[in-house]
Structure formats: structure tokens, C-alpha cells
Structure 1
């Protein structure tokens, strides 16, 4: 992974002097991690790094062996897997043979005890034991017999390490046939280095792609801004003057309408003052009172006439005979009136003759 900050290609293209300086710094003067290449103490630091690498390798081996011993068998074995010599004889006799056969561990008892005792002693994070406790442990089995148990312990550790290596090979080469995974165990360090290099290259490529995407996005936003500016200018050139002219004309018409409305209101008020002067208002009030009196008198006259007609059976229940007689009398009266007019006409003709 490079320690230099990523720089956009457009910046380097637009600034050739800076591009030359940047190239000289990254390829001639400085290392990818940011350190200088022309350093008098580089050899001493290289020796320190090699020594550190050697100690890291020793610590890694120690950690692998400790972890392998700790995971070879369960750290908290069940009561059924504990040695049968710790139980009373009558309990062993009372158990069926099949159960006793199932409780017999697959490993020797001293080897199991050794596997249980070694992880805490080899763990660098665990607190150290006192010297007398260590002497007591190493003076009694199984630690006192560790040299005789090493031939049996080594195959277990080797088998566990091989299983872990096969698991790593399966992860690194998922498409390989499981029967050929053992061929990749020796190449696991190179595979890990290649994967780390690929990861660093992928991260660098991702950063470069992000920079290119950012540059493209910036260019797109700039082009969009320019397009919007051109569109605004075109709209202003095409519709700006006309729209402002129409707006001004509409404002003028609105003001004229408001002025005419105010003039009409003033004229109406003046007409009302001229037409409805105080004398005219008093006369209209008197005329209204006279009309109310005439209406009252007309209503009284109508009620009187209805009462008179009721005496003749008009508009009264049960007076149909009187009404019929009155209609007949009115018909006869009209005929007599026509006859009288005819007689008067004849007399006038006689006088003229």
C-alpha cells in the first residue's frame, strides 16, 4: 500500500512541472512507504528489520504450537473421559462392559494430562507460576516424563498443523480438488503474499477509479451547469423582453381599471348627492308613508267589499243560491243596459230625422 496521497491525473496533466516533481519524489527520492532512499542508516534499519522478522517468525511458531496443543483435545473434558483410576473399584464393577469401553480414551492418560497442562504453561499471557510450583510440576508426571511422551505428542501436533494448513489451502484455493490440497501447503506463504499484493493493488485501483469517477462527475456537473446557463440565456433572449412587456402592460391595465373603479365610485356618490338631496329625501319619506296609508286603506276596503259580497253569498259556504241569483241579476242588468243603449240610439236617430 502506497503512503502517498492519490492525485488526480487531470491535475498532473494540467501541471507538468508538478508532475515531474511528483514523479521524481515517488520513483527516485522516496520509497512507496514514504521513507527516503538515500539514507545512511538504511543498512542498520534493514538489519533491525531482519532481526524483527526473525523474532516474529519465532513468536509465530511458538503461537502455532501453543494453539495447536491447546486445541488438540477439549480443555474441559467431560466426566466420562476422565481416567477411570480416580473412581472407586465398586463403581467400576457396577458399570456394564460396554459403558467402560466407551469411557476409555483414545489417547494415553499421561499424554492427555500433558496436553491439559502444557497450554497454560506455554501461554505468554498467563501469569507466571512461582519457582517452587514449577519445580513441583516438573518433578511429577506427566511433566517429568515429557521426553518419553514427545514421540507420541509430535504426531498429534503435526496432524493438527496439517489440518490447519489444509483448511488455509482450501480457503486460498477453493476450486482445487480436496485430494490435491496438500500440494499447496508449501506454497501458502507465497499465496498469502500474492493475495496481500493483489489486495493492495485492488485498493490502489479502487482509489484511482474513485478519483476518475470524481473527475468525471465534476466534468459532468460543470457541463450540466453550462447547459443550464445556456438554456437560461436562450429563454431570456427569446421570452424575456416579451414577458416583461406583457407584465408591464398588464400592470398598466390593472392600474387603469382601479382608477376607473374609483372614478365610478366617486361619480355614483356625486349622483346620489345630486339626486337625493335633503328635500327629495323628505318627500320620498312622506310618499312612502302615504303609500303605507293607502295600502292600509285599500286592505280595509277589500275586507269591506268581501263582507258585502259575503252578504250576497259570494265566497261564503252555503251561499251558492244567492251567488247564482246575483249572477243572473247581473246578466239581466247587462242586457237591460244594452237594450237601453239601443233605445237611446233609436231616439237619437228619430231626433236627427
Structure 2
């Protein structure tokens, strides 16, 4: 079908208007088919067959609609005992042949068309049997539809008198329904009305479409603005307020921390000024000078004693005393080490608990006293003699408390005797 063209476009384009008129009046029909082959007999036969097919299809649709009206319209005049039969036939006719017997909820649970025919056979037989009963109501429905169409298309008041005439139902037999009937002729003014409607469609619809498109664009733009504004409000109401609150809280906490730090500095200075008064500072300076003087005196005395010992250690009474003193010191150290080892053995025999196990690399070796020591939690230190380690002893004891540690070592790690 040739689409209609806006008259404003035709008026603004004369060449296109001439071409459009030539196409619509000379070259092509209204349905878009060419007129070049209209005179050919074969084409005329095909067009006639197509027209007949369309007429038959339209008749079938009118018959189906009329039957549906008889079945479901309470004012159709059909008896109630026949409505179910007509309704079944209408549903059967309106159902596509490929869908007959299929279950829409469960497609796999279908019924064969032969079974459907066998199930509907009594209803179809009853419909054919009661056709003479259906004919009056069917004819009245068709006549009412034709009268309504004539009333719509007829504007001549002379024809209005025919509407008031009583209509008598036409009773037909089954043989009468098989005879072809002439289609009802409509008023010739219908063509004029159609042309007027077509003209209104060509002139008013494009303008209305433009207005509707402009209105739709404005609505969409307004909707976009509303959505944008809504997003901004949500951002300010929810996320913006939360972030600003968290930032303000963090700044407040930072300010409080700075205030506390300043307060602590002030308290430190106050305490220092209270403790370190000028009298206290001068007394500490004098005491420091006194300690330095005493230290210098002791250093001088130590140097003198060292010189005397170095000069007289080889001969004389003082040398003998020094040698005896050294041997006594060694014996005292040996006895103390033996006592400590005995105490360790006793404590080990009493099944005292071991505080920890320490690698010998983590302990400190004193070459003067020939002992290994390690810090104790009480403030003193664990001690063990190297000779005890060589003898296989591995328990180091703190002299101030009862704690003990186990020394983990190899004899190759110990210094040579």
C-alpha cells in the first residue's frame, strides 16, 4: 500500500508532488500494485480469485463473530439450552488447527486431533441437527449488524423511515443457507466520507505527531532533570551528610589530641620548674664537682698503688703477700663455683622448674671470672662456670631468686682451657 504523504511536503516540493501524483494515479494502484499489467487476462483472473478468497474469508469471519454473539450475548435471542453447543463450536472454530488438543500449561500432555474429533462428535452432530433452530437468531443478528452499518453510513433522512418498519425474522431451511446471497449495498456517500477521513489523516496526523514528539521530548528532558535533582538530593541527604559528619568528627578529635599534647607539655614544664629550682640546680652542680674531685683522687691513688705493686711484686714481703692473695682469691672463686654447682645439683634433685632454655650464643662470657651469665627477670643474672659446662652441667642459677635456666650448648662451642 502506498503510504500517505504530508500535503505540506507536497506543496513545498512541486517536482516531488508531480511524481507522487503520477505514481498514485497512473503507475500504481492504492495497494501498491502496478497498473501496467491490469489489462492482461491472467492477471485479471488472479485478481478475481484473490478478491473471491478475501470475500470468502470475510464471510467466515462474520459468521464466526455472529456465532460468538449468539453464544455469549444474553440478548441474542438464542435459547439457553443451545448456548453451550454454540459456544463449543465457536471455540473449536477459533482454535488454530495446530493447537487443537494441546495443553498450554503442559505441552507434553496433549490430545491427538482424532481423539478431539471423537470427543466433540456429539456436539458437532447436535449443532448440525439444530441448525434450523439457530437460523432465525443468526439472521436477526446479521440484519441488525447491516442496519447498524447503514445507519452509520447513511445521512439521507429519506432512508430513516425504513428504520422504523418492523422487521420480520426470515426463517430459512438448510437448503436455503447454501444459496449464495448478494452482499448488502452501502450508501454511495461512504466513499466521500472515506476521502474526507483520508484528507484529515494527511493534514492533521503529521502535525499531531510532531506536537506529540515535541511534548514527549519535553517530558523526557523534565524527567532527566527530576532524576538529576533527585540524585543530588539523595547524595546531600545521605552520603554528603555522613561524610561531612565523619570529617568534622575527625577534625574535632585531632584538635582535642593537640590540646592534650599541649597540656602535657605544660605539665612537664611545671613539674620541671617545681623540681629543678635554682637552689637544687646549684646543689647538683656542687655535688657533681665533688664527685669529679673524689674520682680524680681515687684515680691518683690507684695509679700509685699499681706502681708500687708493679715495682715490688718480684721480691720482698709485699710480693709474697700479693702472690698469696692471688692464690687465695682463686681458691675462693673455685669454692664459690663448686658451691653454686652443688646448689644447682640440689635444686635439680628437688625437681625445681626450669624457667627457660637459652642457647649459649645468647649468653655473655666473662673471661676474667670464666663464667657465662644471662639477665634474670628479678634484676640479677643467671651464672654458670665454664668448668661446669665442660663437666656436663647445663643448669644456670640466679643467686638472688630460685629461677633456673637450661643452657643448650656443644662442647665445641666452649672456649679452650
Q: TM-score by structure 2 length?
A: 0.33
Give the strand-richer structure, 1 or 2. 2
Higher helix share: 1
Using CA pairs under 8 Å that are at least 6 residues apart, name the structure with larger relative contact order, 1 or 2.
1
